Structure 1
Amino acid sequence: MNQGYFHRLANQSLTRFWINNPTIEEAQKAIESGAISCTTNPTYTAKLLKQASENPQVMDIIDRVIRETKDNSQAAAEVQRQVIKRLLDVFRVLYKEKPGSQGFVSIQGDPYAEDDYENIIVEALADMKLGDNVIAKIPVTKAGLKAMEYLIGENVPIIATEVMGISQAVCACELYERVSHKKGVEPAFYVTHITGIFDEYLAKVAQEKQIEVAKDILWQAGTIVARKQYRILKERAPPPNIVT
């Protein structure tokens, strides 16, 4: 029986390992090491194009899609779906073992249209057609929350992403509780906290405004907020899942 670090962590705590933006080979190795699900970003396809092991397959997908789709935005979205579909196939075996709690692969829509809640909904519903283990990744913004309100009611699994502040996390959870109670559905729901980008932002502000802050303290800022977010959300009933 495999008892690597992430397997031991799963046995000894509620923490679970997700892999982010992997190649197919990395995804398979991650599962062997204890990963239960997978996240992707809008830059996922661009990343794979730089990988020698992935470039030929991704280029084949691009060539096929651009022959079939004339609109550039629609073509880009379809390429992303077809590239990620391969990950869905890899993680589906885990989903079948525990439907709704593992084996997910996230898809996030066009970041240039994330202020358009209707577009977020349309893309998320199109993504769902790829398989039952798709989970929509939606930013906690005004438009994103409006899209979530509809999608939660449609029983769509969601990762609430781009959370930098605790108020965003609380707002997303309150929305989920209200809609799920009203509609009588409880789709899988995860809340992120983006520690790294938050740290980078604070470092930039400190530099621009010439604020003296020790680097070893500044680098912990995102983690400190994430821990506070965890403490606050843990008190909710039921507590949401947190992805960091």
Structure 2
Amino acid sequence: MTLSYVPDDAFAHRLDPRSKLLVQITFAAVAYAYTTPRGLAALTVVAAGCLALAGGGPRDLWAYRFALPFLLVAPLVAGATLGDPRFRVGDAVATGLASYRVLLILVVAAAYVRSTPVRRSRAAVQRTIPGKPGQFLGVGVALVFRFLPLLKRDLLSAREAMRARAGGERPVHERMRIVAVAGINRAFGRADRLGTALVARCFAWNPTLPRLALSRTDLPALALAAVLFAATLARIVFPRIA
């Protein structure tokens, strides 16, 4: 399953993308401010609520399956030592909490991607950051959202093709090399075709973008962002807050 925009009538789909971006930014800030189990437990409720309001569920996290093994293995690597003691529980717990924090940020990001069309994301960036920098970032955001799923699909296709040709019997490093080379070749090919398509369609840096407007529907999202921002400031001013 590839994480992308899914048309729906969920609450998050009716929000202005700028309010959702604000929630993402403040959530990431508060996630790095509150690193205790109790703080992360509270943020788990917030992250799950964001995904549910976007009409998503645990299946949407399957798109992050390539990152999950690294998040799971990181605590084991951090706790392992060459001498005595063989395993440091404190280091493993600290790294495990950090991995879980990253997972929560990915959950909120999944809610945004699932509920926001690419054109509205680009409009939000260009209308928040004026001038050429905003246009450049807007184009970058649009291209990433549109072509990252395609590149991931290319890697999966290359791996399946290799397995169909008995590539599973090769050493791991050889399989990684084959998939990586095939993925890079397809990425360059897509880049060439993209450039040609942009020229053929008279690509414009400042096209007519969808109209954005904050409404009363955005008030809960703005209020949540304000609460998260206040919690981050409170943690900075009073570092002993759990």
TM-score after normalising by structure 2: 0.27
Which entry has the higher C-alpha Rg, 1 or 2? 2
Q: Which of the two has greater strand per residue?
A: 1
**Could you say which structure has the higher helix fraction?**
2
Task: Provide the TM-score with structure 1 as the length reference.
Answer: 0.27
Higher relative contact order (CA 8 A, sep 6+): 2
